[in-house]
Amino acid sequence: MASYTILFHLAPAADVTVAERRVAGVDVRVLSPVGGPAPEEAFAQLEGWLPELQAAVGPLPMPRGLSLVLTPTGGGMEYYGGSITSLRALQHEVFHMYWGCSTVMRTYRDSWLDEAVNMWYALSKDPALAPIEQSFRSDIVSARSPIGTGFDRRAYDEGARVVEAIARDLGSRDAAVAWLRQVHATRSFAPSRPWTSPASCGRTAASTSRSGCSAGSTRPRGPPRWACRRASGTGSTRST
């Protein structure tokens, strides 16, 4: 299902534990199966994670807060204002409230950028993260329609390194985070294409070989050479 669909969870009351708390100004509800992860473990992560995201990207864009359904193992899936997630994937899924549930691409084929930005934010805390090569060519795509199947795992690795290349062009991780904050502030709930939005150009004062922007302009000349390009229907859509 698309990331911006509604999360609805129905279970016998005796089979679940529900806890509610206000964390960093956000109303948070955590539901966990009896014998599963303790809600306190989720709150412990959120006590540090939500303030960090609010400082880096902005207020949580869901006015009614955050709802989490915990699972004992596995990964997770984001929805508008909520997630079904393991503790291991919790921070990743909450980040999707910003990229994937509010700041989204106009087409399904470009939604791999949601994962690329998400993974980059986490991985770029390690200065050893390498940018994608200048020669990189890609046919990374997500599903081509609301009911299309498949997702390309390269969004998590090569995608993150594409964003790291942009960060290097901007000069630092802090500059890239500020760029993401600007894109989120100006494009939330206004789906856009990746190279015709503010994300096209991180800098407006100088031309760079990777940003695809003319000097002094915010209009891109075209996608960076190493960025995802339309693959004339030949892109990979491997299932996960």
Domain ranges of the chain: 13-95, 108-191
Q: How far is CA 67 from CA 7, 21, 52, 119, 153, in A?
A: 9, 11, 18, 22, 27
Exposed (0-12), middle (13-18) or buried (19+): which is 178, by Cβ within 10 Å?
Answer: middle
Exposed (0-12), middle (13-18) or buried (19+): which is 233, by Cβ within 10 Å?
Answer: exposed
In sequence order, the 6+-apart residues with CB closer than 8 A to the CB of 33 are 11, 15, 16, 17, 70, 71, 72
Residues 106, 193: Cα–Cα separation, whole Å:
5
Instruction: Give the pTM.
Output: 0.79
DSSP, residue by residue, 95-110: HTTTBTTTB-BSSGGG
Under-50 pLDDT residues of the chain: 1-3, 196-240
Looking at residue 195, what is its pLDDT? 54
Residues 82, 7: Cα–Cα separation, whole Å:
6
Residues 233, 191: Cα–Cα separation, whole Å:
22
Residues 37, 52: Cα–Cα separation, whole Å:
23
Bridge-based pairing of strands 66-70 and 76-79 is unpaired
Q: What is the CA radius of gyration of the chain?
A: 18
Residues 204, 223: Cα–Cα separation, whole Å:
16
Domain 13-95, architecture per CATH? 2-Layer Sandwich (3.30)
